[in-house]
Amino acid sequence: MSWNRDYSQENNEQGSAHQLRMRSLLEAEENRKEAFLRPLEFLVEDICESELKVSLIKAINHFKYKDASEEAKACLNIQLKCRQLGGYNLVSWLQKIIDCFSDIIIDHIQRNLNELIINTHPTIGYELSADRAAFTHLEFVHAQNDFRSKIGTYFNAIYEDLNNSKHRLKRGDDNKIRKQKINFFFLKDRDIEYAKSALLNLQQEFASEIAECQI
């Protein structure tokens, strides 16, 4: 057997692997550039796993659209593709999702529907924060409207999971305070599905609103 080992095949394999890695990095960078050119649209399409059904720039007030786009960038900075979220950064991502869409919904209720948003829960009676009030308004005041009630219901469910994840210290029956264990990977899958349902219905709501304005 010759001591002079032939490295040509090994070098070719290493070269191919390097090319694949470089191609993957370039594609990821191109995806990132595309995402940040249209962050709100990219975020909605990523969550919904489908192309937009309505023009967001037409459906949303100009200033609210700009603010929401900045919040969407914050979501993308946490994780470009939501289904690749790790459990450790779910809470930050959910907070940004609430920040991104609550202001849009508040504006839609006040400006397009011309309604005063409720400030207390209609069945339990406690006071609501501004973002929670908007979700609850759609869920209860518009309970008979399929799109609006679902938008409110699913965003409220996300808000509830976010709240429970942020406030994990609980007092038990023995009066001792303990940190509650949370399965963040289970919550991630559930809350992404909640967000998908909420945003698909929000698009339907916007499409209906635009169609009425054009009649």
Segment 94-134, tens digit of pLDDT? 999 999 999 999 999 999 999 999 999 999 989 999 999 99
Q: Which candidate, 109, 114, 98, 111, places its Cα nearest to that of 62?
A: 111
Q: Which candidate, 158, 137, 161, places its Cα nearest to that of 149?
A: 137
Tell me how far apart the alpha carbons of residues 182 and 45 are, in angstroms, rounded to a whole number.
Answer: 28
Cβ(210)–Cβ(59) below 8 Å: yes
Residues 6+ apart with CB under 8 A from 110: 116, 117
User: Considering the chain, what is the average pLDDT of its residues?
Assistant: 88
Look at 43-52, 55-64, 164-173, 192-201 and tell me which has the smallest mean pLDDT. Answer: 164-173
Residue scoring higher pLDDT (209 or 107): 107
Amino acid, res. 38? R
Residue scoring higher pLDDT (9 or 75): 75
What's residue 16's pLDDT? 67
What's residue 211's pLDDT? 82
Residue scoring higher pLDDT (172 or 18): 172
Task: pLDDT band for 215, please (50, 70, 90 cuts).
Answer: very low
Task: pLDDT band for 17, please (50, 70, 90 cuts).
Answer: low
Cβ(188)–Cβ(162) below 8 Å: no
Chain-centre distance for alpha carbon 102: 11
Residue 132, H or E segment: helix 130-136
